[in-house]
Structure 1
Amino acid sequence: MENVLRYYEFSDFFEDKSGAFEGNSISYTSLNEEHFLIFVKNKEQYDLYVSKYGSEKEVGSKPPEILELLMKNYDKSIPEHRVILRKYLY
């Protein structure tokens, strides 16, 4: 998973303080100034979301304006999971 996060330039994991992700650790990458992909780490499971915030400074500190679950339990060995991630990043 670390390779996926580095390749797509996700941030390091940090504690979510917004309450939107139930206090789990999150990692994000920017799609544009307001939209972000977020991995939520819950134990050894990674869930992928697309979100909208007013600015990058709000990620992890304020609840998102829009939040949509793209995939539960991301697994880089499953081609469909990789396709969903690439669809948003390219």
Structure 2
Amino acid sequence: MENVFRYYGFSEFKKDESGAFSGDQICFSVLNEQHFLIFEKNNDDFNLYVSKYKSKKEIGVNPPEILELLVESYDKSIPEHRIFLRKYLY
């Protein structure tokens, strides 16, 4: 998964303090100034979300304005999971 995070330019993981991700570790990639892809690390599982915040400074601090689960238990070996990343990032 580390290769996926680096390839797509995700941030370093940080602890969610907003309560939106149950205090799990999260990392994000910027889609535009208000929309972001977020990976939530829950034990050994990674969930992928698309979200809306007023700015990237709010990620992990305040709850998102919009949060939609795209992929539960992301697996880079499943083509459909990889398509979600490409769909949003390209």
TM-score band by shorter chain is over 0.9
For 2:55 and 2:14, how far apart are their aligned partners in 1? Answer: 17
- Alpha-carbon offset, residue 13 of structure 1: 0.6
For 1:3 and 1:76, how far apart are their aligned partners in 2? Answer: 10
- 2:59 is aligned to 59
Moved over 4 A (4+): none
Cα RMSD of the aligned pairs, angstroms, is 0.3
Matched, 1:12 2:12: yes
- 1:80 is aligned to 80
For 2:21 and 2:82, how far apart are their aligned partners in 1? Answer: 22
After TM superposition, the score normalised by the length of structure 1 is 0.99
For 1:20 and 1:84, how far apart are their aligned partners in 2? Answer: 21
After TM superposition, the structure 1 = structure 2 runs for residues 21-60 of structure 1, keeping only pairs within 5 Å, are 21-60=21-60
For 2:31 and 2:21, how far apart are their aligned partners in 1? Answer: 19
Matched, 1:69 2:69: yes
1:30-81 deviation digits (Å, cap 9, x = unpaired):
0000000000000000000000000010001000000000000000000010
Aligned residue pairs, count: 90
- Gaps of at least 5 residues in structure 2 are none
